């Protein structure tokens, strides 16, 4: 199994003000913790994703990847709206494990998705063989579709199945409609089955509802574009362990063919990120 989405950090209140104090996230999550979690979860390679919007973190994640055989790829951050972004982009892209760029669009107004300077930065990625990780909430799907259509040459990977508003026993109609439109775009390379537990709006997590979202995503995008990810350690806000999520996703795919299971749990991440 390849975990297509997790984070690492050296915790401090100042640098990670979005982490709830006293939560399982409010501690260091570094290579030792990753190695322990992946070993328990039966995962043998990962893609680590930015958690802060500073260039220094991209360099730090690459330094960790250099020390680890488990980390196969890095999704970093660069200031895409900076007119001089080509320089740090080229430097980072020269590292063989630097695979993609992400900006925390979920925290931006809709207008940010369509900024010309942002799109200039995005337009530089294909020539460097870099992909873009699209992080958004369900309510941002309409403007996200416009973003995707403005960058037809850019390979885009959707994080956390676009963060639907998950309620027990329901598939949100607006989420399904927006995702169906995105699925028509050939430059959408993949969709991550990750980050779902923290989008559950009910007090308790209902596994059949999460399975239903997985199955709907599979119908829309096909087994060649859906990929396993954990969003560890953020997932620990709602589930007990890395292993618990890995086991749940293994349960989601048990009735699929061997080839489909291999694609979702391993091959799609390998191909989409060129690991």
Domain boundaries in the chain?
A: 2-272
CA distance 235 to 258: 27
* Residue 253, both tokens: 């795919």
User: What pLDDT, on a 0 to 100 scale, did the predictor assign at position 192?
Assistant: 98
Gap between the terminal Cα atoms of the chain: 13
Task: Quickly state the pLDDT bin for 41 (edges 50, 70, 90).
Answer: very high
User: What pLDDT, on a 0 to 100 scale, did the predictor assign at position 137?
Assistant: 98
Q: Under a CB-based contact definition with an 8 Å cutoff, are residues 68 and 62 in contact?
A: no
CA distance 178 to 174: 6
User: What pLDDT, on a 0 to 100 scale, did the predictor assign at position 264?
Assistant: 98
Q: Provide the 3-class DSSP secondary structure of residue 162.
A: helix
Q: Provide the 3-class DSSP secondary structure of residue 275.
A: coil
For the sheet with 45-49, list strands across it.
2-6, 45-49, 71-76, 98-103, 131-134, 156-158, 188-193, 226-228
Residue among 259, 254, 194 at smallest CA distance from 227? 194
Print burial letters for 7-24: b (CB count within 10 Å at least 16), e (below 16): bbbeeeeeeeeebeeeee
User: What pLDDT, on a 0 to 100 scale, did the predictor assign at position 224?
Assistant: 98
β-sheet bridge partners, residue 158: 134, 191
Is the domain 2-272 a CATH 3.20.20.140 member?
yes
Q: Is 265 exposed, middle or buried (0-12, 13-18, 19+ CB in 10 A)?
A: buried
Tell me: the pLDDT tens digits for 22-36?
A: 999 999 999 999 999
CA distance 167 to 148: 27
User: What pLDDT, on a 0 to 100 scale, did the predictor assign at position 51?
Assistant: 96
CA distance 270 to 275: 5
Residue with tokens 């488990």: 70
User: What pLDDT, on a 0 to 100 scale, did the predictor assign at position 119?
Assistant: 98
Angle between helices 86-93 and 55-67 (to 10 degrees): 0
Q: Under a CB-based contact definition with an 8 Å cutoff, are residues 49 and 5 in contact?
A: yes
User: What pLDDT, on a 0 to 100 scale, did the predictor assign at position 164?
Assistant: 98
Percent of the chain surpassing pLDDT 90: 98
Q: Is 144 exposed, middle or buried (0-12, 13-18, 19+ CB in 10 A)?
A: buried
Q: In 139-236, at which residue ranges do the beta strands (DSSP E only) sit?
A: 156-158, 188-193, 226-228
What is the mean pLDDT of the segment spanning 164-186? Answer: 97
User: What pLDDT, on a 0 to 100 scale, did the predictor assign at position 169?
Assistant: 96
Tell me: the pLDDT tens digits for 43-79?
A: 999 999 999 999 999 999 999 999 999 999 999 999 9
* Residue 117, both tokens: 């300077």
């Amino acid at each position: 199994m390849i975990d297509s989405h997790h984070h690492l950090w050296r915790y401090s209140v100042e640098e990670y003000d979005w982490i709830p104090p006293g939560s399982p996230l409010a501690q260091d999550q570094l290579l030792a913790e990753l190695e322990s979690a992946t070993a328990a979860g039966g995962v043998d390679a990962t893609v680590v994703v930015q958690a802060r919007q500073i260039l220094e973190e991209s360099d730090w994640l690459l330094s960790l990847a250099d020390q680890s055989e488990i980390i196969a790829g890095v999704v970093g951050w660069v200031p895409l709206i900076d007119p001089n972004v080509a320089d740090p982009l080229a430097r980072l892209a020269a590292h063989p494990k630097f695979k993609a760029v992400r900006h925390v669009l979920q925290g931006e107004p809709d207008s940010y998705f369509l900024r010309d300077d942002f799109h200039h930065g995005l337009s530089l990625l294909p020539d460097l063989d870099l992909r873009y990780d699209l992080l958004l909430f369900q309510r941002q799907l309409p403007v996200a579709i416009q973003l995707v259509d403005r960058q037809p040459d850019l390979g885009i990977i959707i994080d956390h199945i676009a963060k639907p508003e998950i309620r027990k026993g329901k598939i949100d109609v607006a989420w399904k409609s927006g995702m169906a439109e995105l699925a028509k775009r050939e430059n959408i390379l993949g969709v991550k089955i990750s980050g779902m537990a923290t989008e559950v709006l009910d007090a308790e997590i209902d596994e059949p509802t999460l399975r239903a979202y997985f199955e709907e995503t599979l119908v829309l995008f096909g087994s060649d574009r859906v990929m396993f990810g954990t969003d560890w350690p953020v997932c620990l806000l709602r589930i007990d362990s890395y292993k618990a999520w890995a086991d749940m996703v293994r349960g989601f795919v048990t009735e699929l063919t061997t080839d489909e299971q291999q694609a979702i749990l391993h091959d799609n991440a390998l191909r989409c990120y060129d690991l």
